[in-house]
Amino acid sequence: MTLTPLQELAKSLVNCERCKLAKLGRSQVVFGVGNPHASIMFVGEAPGSNEDLKGEPFVGAAGKLLNDLLASAGLSRDQIYIANVIKCRPPNNRDPEQDEVETCKPFLLQQIRLIQPKLVCTLGNWATQTLLERKVGITKVKAQAFYMKDFVLFPLLHPAAALHQGNLLPTLKEDFKKLKEFLDKHTKPAEPTSTAPTAPVLNIESPQPAQMDLFG
């Protein structure tokens, strides 16, 4: 069976040893899962212990919370694609290091290029700063739409942050409510099909560069 370009990319990374994480206890590369034709993509930071064992992003407690939040926005896992900036688990769930981000970033950008989502929701500081290419705190930019060259970026708090700090959970739920409002505004009904899950079809207007003034 012929592999798709996305499957080819995943296959090429199965035994990746391009950075030191390959020698620091990872079980496997966690490439990403979901609808390869998704118009909405979620990007987290790096695999945790559960993800490292199963080989899928967001399968632990943070994953369960993400599923609930997706449902609140009218989404399901089979409609979207989920990946991380870093494809291998950092030891003891430490923050990714800059060289690891720089090594793995091209593969995330390739995933985005192959999937061609119209909306990319970044979860937490690392994913947001990596794709915005700005050192800016998530609390300053969360739940806002930033019009990039090829997609709209919508930063959100990372679900794990809300698990560690319960006082952030209401904020995270409110931000997903804002995401739903954005989707409702920009979604047109999808053509019903009898096979693949029906994914939202986004119709987002042309970029509005003025939104980037936040970084001026």
Asked, for residue 21, whether it belongs to a domain, the answer is: no
Mean pLDDT of the chain, nearest integer: 90
Q: Is 209 exposed, middle or buried (0-12, 13-18, 19+ CB in 10 A)?
A: exposed
Asked, for residue 118, whether it belongs to a domain, the answer is: yes
92-140: per-residue pLDDT in tens?
989 999 999 999 999 999 999 999 999 999 999 999 999 999 999 999 9
Asked, for residue 154, whether it belongs to a domain, the answer is: yes
Q: What is the pTM of this model?
A: 0.89
pLDDT score, position 202: 76
Among all chains, which residue has been given the structure tokens 């970084």? 215
pLDDT score, position 205: 66
Asked, for residue 24, whether it belongs to a domain, the answer is: no
Furthest C-alpha separation in the chain: 50
Residue 122, helix vs strand vs coil:
strand
pLDDT greater at residue 21 or residue 204: 21
Asked, for residue 104, whether it belongs to a domain, the answer is: yes
DSSP assignment of 147-202, as one string? E-SSSEE--B--HHHHHHSGGGHHHHHHHHHHHHHHHHHHEEPPPP-SSS----EE
Contact 86, 45 (CB under 8 A): yes
The whole-angstrom separation of Cα 26 and Cα 192 is 41
Beta strand 81-84 pairing with 40-44: parallel
48-107: per-residue pLDDT in tens?
999 999 999 999 899 999 999 999 999 999 999 999 999 999 999 899 999 999 999 999
CATH number, domain containing residue 164: 3.40.470.10
